[in-house]
Amino acid sequence: MNVSISTDTPERCTVRVQGEVDAYTAVDLEKALAGPLESKATRFVVDLSRVTYLSSAGLRVLLHVHQVLEKRGGQARLFGLVPPVRKVFEMAGFDRVLRIVGSSEEAAGD
Amino acid sequence: MGSFDERRVIRTTLTLPMDGRFLKVGRSWVRRVARLAKLGLEQTEALVLAADEAAANILQHAFEPGEEGQISLSMEIGPVAVTLVLKDQGLPFDSAIQPSYHGPEDGQVSRRGLGLHLIRSSVDRVQWYNHGKEGKELRLTMLRPTRSIADQLPLEELTPYVESQSRAPDQSYQVRLFGTGRTSQLRQEAIQVARCAYRTYGYTYAHESLYYPYRIIELNRNGELISAVALTEGDTPEVVGHAAIERPDQGRVAEIGQALVVPAHRSRGILERLVGFLEGVARERQMLGLWATAVTVHSYSQRVTEKLGYRASGVALGLIPASVTFKRFEDQAPPHRENAVIYFKYLEPPPSAVVHAPRHHLPILEEIYAHLGVSVDFRQPLDCLGPGRVTATEIGPLRCGLIRVFQVGSDTAAEIRRALADLREIARTQVVMLDLPLSDPGTPWACQEAEQVGFFFCGLGPHFSPEGDVLRLQYLDSGLGIGDPQVPSPFARRLLEYVLAQRQRVAGARDARG
């Protein structure tokens, strides 16, 4: 699993995740996001288009990001979910809580 | 190379070390085997997710940090289902540590709660076995997709039977084993059975396999089901009745049920012939007895069951899920789980029994044994030393839990509590049955311990265990209503009153303890 994070503006960063997010690799995802979460960024654009598998461990990391940002009036927007990954979100009810959008433009937009 | 449509179960196993890096190896293996087994893409990914969540759960909770261990994954590929089995020899699960999963809205998401939720949501059936010191086993079953009768026939051929429809002309009927007519008619016969079930029960019958012609064929082929059918005579015989013995564990006793007769052909002794025929088949296979359940929302099935020579041995509150309705009695449809009288019939002279009965249940057990015609040697309880053996599983179609104690030991009380918590947490069962071996001198103590956590008397299970008769206790979630049971038969009524009194006694004792 690989994570790359770019700071687009002081308020917005883009997180690109690639590979499989399971109980083992979710730890690395969490570590990678720790720094940006401590910054002043209020918008995370999360590109999951190259995530081929995501388990409950990955969901928890994303929920934590959502909760931190929401507290400071911000938001995480996820896009690019492949069908098996989207299904996991739906089974867990996370599609009702996390903001899942249809494109990178929508994720980055206002 | 053979196709996986062949009528046999193929097994394959992978062993993984307790190392998170190998989770992806397990996923790849499950994915490849599932695809080889011809599961579709969605089912494959669901099984992969369930396997991964279960394996991660074991990694997280089953071993102490730094402790070495292994997880064994096996897949059983059969014509009806694909089952993934995970085994480990780590710590027993302690679901008391983790809260239940309630969705992300409440802001608190436990890893284990969410993982278990995803496991339950991904597969068709979850069975959970605690083997005490020998470890744990989790069985996740994915039923092969097959078309139900509602997908195979047009709606106009599936209209509900009308009770008042005109009677069929007087005629003779043939009763035989399902599928023993002409080979070319096997599929058609299965379709007719499924159609009868749908027209009789709608889509609400708890035993869903009856709606799937392919499953009826395969379950009969592998012996889990022994179906008998009643047919009209003539060149194009038509199925007008069905009953079956369910024998998933091939034990000496089994359940007889799944009975239905097309209304136009009722009151002609077809049901009696079907049951008599199956009893004959059971005797040929050296089965000791058959048990049956009859709901209490009405008294019809109880009367029929007793007329066929079955005798009440217990009352299970809340056994039948609320989704089961009875088309003839829709105006009495219950808003909650429904109760059932448990009946039993010996197919050969009953052997005498050695029984270690809890003192406070001794009188009722004496009555039940006398009612069943069994001579009993009641013995004193003894202290139980050494480890016991307990398994817990979910009864799929009725959404009940079942805890079976095969041997009472000093750890049995803790194992029962843990199994109960697991069934309520993992399988979300509202009703749990507990079977204690009456031949075991430790059963009186185990009963006492179980009653302290809320189990209460259900009845006697004759030879429900390989060890012999069981004392069946039951647990109901608090607040689960039981409605107004209709139980006309005097002895069944006696059992119902005893069960209700015991439920009250146990609840009162727990409240008093605080």
SS3 B49: helix
How confident is the model over B106-131, as a mean pLDDT? 74
Q: Please determine, for residue B429, whether its predicted confidence score (pLDDT) is greater than 90.
A: no
Q: Grade residue B326 by pLDDT with cuts at 50, 70 and 90.
A: very low
Contact status of A93 with chain B (Cβ, < 8 Å)? yes
**Most confident among B100-109, B348-357, B423-432 (mean pLDDT):** B348-357
- Mean pLDDT (chain B) is 87
- In this predicted structure, the answer to whether residue A73 has a pLDDT above a threshold of 50 is yes
A40 touches chain B (CB under 8 A): no
CB contact under 8 A, B118 and A23: no
B60/A23 touch (CB, cutoff 8 Å), yes or no = yes
pLDDT band at B322 (very low <50, low <70, confident <90, very high): low
Residue B255 vs residue B423, higher pLDDT: B255
Residue B97 pLDDT:
46
**Model confidence pLDDT, tens digit, residues B447-469:** 999 999 999 999 999 999 988 99
Q: What is the pLDDT of residue B355?
A: 96
Q: What is the pLDDT of residue B285?
A: 93
Q: Which spans in B299-339 are helix H? A: 300-307
B436 has pLDDT over 80: yes
Cβ A55–B49 below 8 Å, yes or no? yes
- How far apart are the C-alpha atoms of B259 and B246, rounded to whole Å? 12
Measuring CA to CA, which residue among A54, A91, A94 is closest to residue B121? Answer: A91
Cβ of residue B60 closer than 8 Å to a chain A Cβ? yes
Nearest to B298 by CA among B262, B260, B339, B255: B339
Chain A: residue nearest B103 by CA?
A: A93
| Domain spans of chain A, in order of start | 2-108
- Of residues B118 and B292, the one with the higher pLDDT is B292
As to burial, measured by CB atoms within 10 angstroms (0-12 exposed, 13-18 middle, 19+ buried), residue B510 is middle
pLDDT classification of B160: cutoffs 50, 70, 90: confident
Identify the weakest region by mean pLDDT among B34-48, B66-80, B213-227: B66-80
Of B53, B117, B121, the CB nearest to A55: B53
Q: Is A97 on the interface with B (CB under 8 A)?
A: yes
Give the CA count within 13 Å in the CB-facing half-sphere of B240: 25
What are the tens digits of pLDDT across the range B80-117? Answer: 899 999 998 876 555 444 445 666 555 555 555 788 88
- Cβ separation A91–B56 shorter than 8 A: no
Hey, how many other C-beta atoms are within 10 angstroms of the C-beta on B228? 25
Shortest Cα distance, chain A CAs vs residue B118, angstroms: 7
SS3 A83: helix
pLDDT tops 50 at residue B2: no
Q: What is the pLDDT of residues B148-157, one digit of tens each?
A: 898 889 988 8
- In B, which residues are within 8 Å of A20 by CB distance? 24, 27
Q: Are strands B431-437 and B225-232 parallel, antiparallel or unpaired?
A: unpaired
Residue of A nearest to B57 (CA): A23
State phi, psi for B386 to the nearest 5 degrees: 80, 175
Please indicate if any CB of chain B lies within 8 Å of the CB of A82. no
**B52–A84: do the CB atoms touch at under 8 Å?**
no
When CB atoms are compared, the residue of A23, A59, A97 closest to B105 is A97
Virtual torsion, Cα B116, B117, B123, B126, nearest 10 deg: 50
The pLDDT of residue B105: 59
A57 touches chain B (CB under 8 A): yes
Would you say residue B323 has pLDDT above 70?
no
Full set of structural domains in chain B with CATH: 10-143 (3.30.565.10), 147-262 (3.40.630), 353-513 (3.40.630)
- Yes or no: say if B452 and B335 are a contact pair by the CB < 8 Å rule: no
Q: What is the pLDDT of residue B396?
A: 64
Stretch among B121-125, B480-484, B500-504 having the lowest mean pLDDT: B480-484
- Partner-chain contact A55 B52, CB within 8 Å: yes
State the nearest Cα–Cα gap between B40 and chain A, in angstroms. 13
A2-108 has CATH 3.30.750.24 classification: yes
Chain A residues touching residue B122 (CB < 8 angstroms): 91
Q: Supply B272's token pair.
A: 């009696």
Look at residue B437 and tell me whether its pLDDT is greater than 60.
yes
**B132 pLDDT tier (thresholds 50, 70, 90):** low
| Chain mean pLDDT for chain A | 93
Whole-angstrom CA distances from A110 to A7, A46, A70, B283 are 17, 15, 16, 75
Rounded distance between C-alpha atoms, residue B316 and residue B487, angstroms = 13
Asked if the Cβ–Cβ distance from B104 to A97 is below 8 Å, we say: yes
Instruction: Please determine, for residue B376, whether its predicted confidence score (pLDDT) is greater than 60.
Output: yes
Q: Which of A21, A53, A54, A56 is the best residue to mutate to test the B interface, defined by the most B CB atoms within 10 Å of its own CB?
A: A56
Q: Chain B: give the shortest CA distance to residue A60, in Å.
A: 7
Query: Does any CB of chain B come closer than 8 Å to the CB of residue A24?
Result: yes
Which residues of chain B does A98 touch, with a Cβ-Cβ cutoff of 8 Å? Answer: 104
B449 at A interface, C-beta within 8 A = no
Where is average pLDDT lowest: B217-226, B279-288, B391-400, B409-418?
B391-400
Are B246 and B224 contacting, i.e. CB atoms less than 8 angstroms apart? yes
Which chain A residues are closer than 8 Å to B111 by Cβ? 56-57, 60
Confidence of residue B377 (pLDDT cuts 50, 70, 90): very high
Two tokens at A56? 């409950």
* % of chain B exceeding 90 in pLDDT: 56
Residues of A in contact with B103 (CB under 8 A): 92-93, 96
Interchain contact B25–A (C-beta under 8 A): no
Statement: the pTM of the whole predicted model exceeds 0.90: no
For residue B380, give Cα distances in angstroms to B364, B421, B439, B445, B460: 17, 31, 11, 11, 18
Strands (E), B24-122: 70-77, 81-88
- C-alpha B170/C-alpha B420 separation (Å) is 53
Q: Which of the four pLDDT bands, split at 50, 70 and 90, describes residue B428?
A: confident
Mean local confidence (pLDDT), B220-247: 93
pLDDT tens sequence across A11-42: 999 999 999 999 999 999 999 999 999 998 99
Residue B332, pLDDT above cutoff 50: no
- Is the pLDDT at A10 greater than 70, yes or no? yes
